[in-house]
């Protein structure tokens, strides 16, 4: 079996794996779980997963990303977000990619995703290329994870060793998408709670929010801050004045919901630590960005300050938190499938 010759590390993993499957024949998702159905650790995902079955996988992903982002630099941001919206709903299982069908109620129409999430055609293009070279081998969930890393790197951000081997789900959860993905007007308490639910902590919250160093948001996602932050028809007082005036000129009180503004107005396509510097200046776009500094729970304020001062620290922590994000409840082994087309189950 090719598996055995991969490396000593993998052999050890294989041993553990086979021992456990003898101990629990027909083991499934709950194997090695924490009792909540969440798999503990991720030693069954490994960066070398496609080393023999599809060695070109990352090159193919990167060549599509290079072409696409050259034409549309925002696409890097959109793909990074797509992985996040996948992982927060049933784990990183490609569920976000499924279309409506007789058995599926798609997540694409959820509150956080409707008129907002983008990049599906890029994932489909990557998948089509991969099906030509290594058919039925690379999961859509892994393509999302690879595209998120590649997009970060192409935008000037950090690289990380990416554990692979996720399988794709046969289900989606519209309800999960509505309930698990934080809304932009969340309080800090609420953000921490929604991250904790995924096994992510306060550090992951602040660090991964740093993704908002690239990309855009629609007027409807920050309008409350401009016109009625606390039900008193007043703006959010933490907004810096000239920034606030600029925003009101592109985001009117009524209408204009889909007009977009940069999350990081200083460098919207460059992955850097400017996002944190802007928050300190009162120029963070979303309420969920601002409250990391002013929300007054835990240690998030100090993390924002540290990242604003030290980009290397931010990059290192970002790599770590992205691996944690990508390890949320993967389907592995016999669970799930490798979809032939990311938009539908086989
Ligand atoms: C902490 C809670 C978070 C909230 C409340 C939040 C909310 C939002 C909202 C409202 C938008 C704009 C969507 C639109 O107007 O169409 C957005 C964009 C974005 N989010 Fe988040 N987000 C959060 C965390 C994250 C995380 C963890 C990541 C990635 C790991 C991420 C990556 C992005 C990116 C890259 C964009 C820009 C997308 C584009 O331009 O297409 N966000 N987010
Ligand atoms: C909806 O999703 C939430 C959060 O994932 C879950 O607790 C709840 O049981 C779900 N409700 C239904 C009806 O599926
Ligand atoms: C967030 O916005 C929603 C929808 O507009 C609203 O129902 C909710 O009360 C808001 N939450 C907060 C904390 O302002």
**Which residue's CA is the closest to the ligand 3 atom numbered 10?**
185
Q: Is there a common fold for 57-180 and 188-325?
A: no
Ligand 3, from 114, 190, 191, 224: best to mutate by most atoms within 8 Å of Cβ? 224
Average pLDDT over residues 40-52: 80
Torsion angle, alpha carbons of 290, 293, 296, 299, to 10: 140
Q: pLDDT band for position 20 (50/70/90)?
A: very low
- Total residue length of the chain: 346
> 57-180 has which fold?
Peroxidase; domain 1 (1.10.520)
| % the chain with pLDDT above 90 | 87
13 has pLDDT over 70: no
Ligand 3, atom 3, lies closest to the CA of 185
40 DSSP assignment: P
Nearest CA to ligand 3 atom 7: 185
pTM of the model: 0.90
Record the tokens describing residue 233, joined without a space: 């028809």
Architecture of domain 188-325: Orthogonal Bundle (1.10)
Q: Whose CA is nearest to atom 1 of ligand 3?
A: 185
Q: How far, in Å, is the centroid of ligand 1 from the Cα of 85?
A: 9
Residues of the chain with pLDDT > 70: what percent? 88
Strand partners, 344: 341
Residue positions annotated with a catalytic role = 85
Helical spans, DSSP H, in 33-93:
57-71, 74-87
Please tell me the distance between residue 111's alpha carbon and the centre of ligand 2 in angstroms: 15
The C-alpha angle 265, 80, 107, rounded to 5 degrees, equals 115
Q: Where are the domains of the chain?
A: 57-180, 188-325
291 is in an annotated binding site: no
Angle between helices 300-309 and 287-294 (to 10 degrees): 100
CA distance 259 to 248: 12
* Banded pLDDT at 298 (limits 50, 70, 90): very high
Chain-centroid distance, C-alpha 56: 23
Tens digit of each residue's pLDDT (9 = 90 or more) over 223-266? 999 999 999 999 999 999 999 999 999 999 999 999 999 999 99
- Give ligand 3 pocket residues (Cβ under 6 A): 183, 185, 187
The DSSP letter of residue 218 is E
272 annotated as a binding-site residue? yes
Q: Residue 153 corresponds to which tokens in the numbers above?
A: 């790197």
Residue 80 Cβ contacting ligand 1 at under 6 Å: yes
Question: Which protein residue's CA is at the shortest distance from atom 1 of ligand 2?
Answer: 175
The answer to whether 93 is a known ligand-binding residue is yes
State how far the alpha carbon of 163 is from the alpha carbons of 23, 42, 69, 155, 190, in Å: 26, 8, 24, 21, 29
Pocket test for ligand 2, best of 176, 178, 180 (most atoms within 8 A of CB): 176
How far the first Cα of the chain sits from its last, in Å, is: 26
Q: How far, in Å, from the CA of 185 to the mean position of ligand 3?
A: 6
- Summarize pLDDT for 161-189 with one digit per residue, the tens: 999 999 999 999 999 999 999 999 999 99
pLDDT higher than threshold 70 for residue 303: yes
- Residue 82 CA to ligand 3 centre (angstroms): 23
Q: Is any atom of ligand 1 closer than 6 Å to the C-beta of 187?
A: no
Under 8 Å between Cβ of 125 and 344: no
């Amino acid at each position: 079996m090719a598996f055995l010759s991969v490396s000593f590390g993998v052999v050890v993993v294989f041993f553990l794996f086979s021992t456990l499957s003898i101990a629990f024949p027909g083991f499934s998702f709950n194997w090695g779980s924490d009792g909540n159905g969440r798999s503990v650790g991720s030693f069954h995902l490994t960066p070398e997963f496609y080393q023999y079955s599809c060695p070109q996988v990352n090159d193919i992903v990167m060549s599509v990303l290079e072409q696409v982002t050259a034409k549309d630099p925002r696409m890097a941001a959109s793909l990074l977000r797509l992985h996040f919206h996948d992982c927060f709903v049933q784990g990183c299982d490609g569920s976000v990619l499924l279309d409506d069908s007789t058995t599926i109620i798609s997540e694409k129409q959820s509150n956080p995703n409707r008129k907002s999430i983008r990049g599906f055609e890029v994932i489909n293009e990557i998948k089509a290329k991969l099906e030509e070279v290594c058919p039925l081998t690379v999961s859509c969930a892994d393509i999302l994870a690879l595209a998120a890393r590649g997009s970060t790197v192409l935008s000037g951000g950090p690289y990380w060793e990416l554990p692979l081997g996720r399988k794709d789900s046969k289900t989606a959860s519209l309800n999960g998408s509505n309930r698990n993905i934080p809304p932009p007007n969340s309080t800090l308490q609420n953000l921490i709670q929604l991250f904790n639910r995924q096994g992510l902590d306060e550090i992951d919250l602040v660090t991964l929010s740093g993704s908002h160093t690239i990309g855009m948001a629609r007027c409807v996602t920050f309008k409350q801050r401009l016109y009625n932050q606390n039900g008193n028809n007043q703006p959010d007082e933490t907004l810096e004045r000239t920034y606030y005036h600029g925003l009101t000129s592109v985001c009117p009180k009524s209408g204009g919901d889909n007009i977009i503004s940069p999350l990081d107005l200083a460098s919207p396509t460059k992955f850097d630590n400017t996002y944190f510097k802007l928050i300190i200046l009162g120029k963070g776009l979303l309420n969920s960005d601002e409250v990391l500094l002013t929300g007054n729970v835990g240690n998030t304020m100090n993390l924002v300050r540290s990242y604003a001062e030290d980009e290397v620290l931010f990059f290192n922590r970002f790599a770590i938190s992205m691996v944690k994000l990508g390890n949320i409840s993967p389907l592995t082994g016999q669970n799930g499938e490798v979809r032939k087309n990311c938009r539908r189950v086989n």
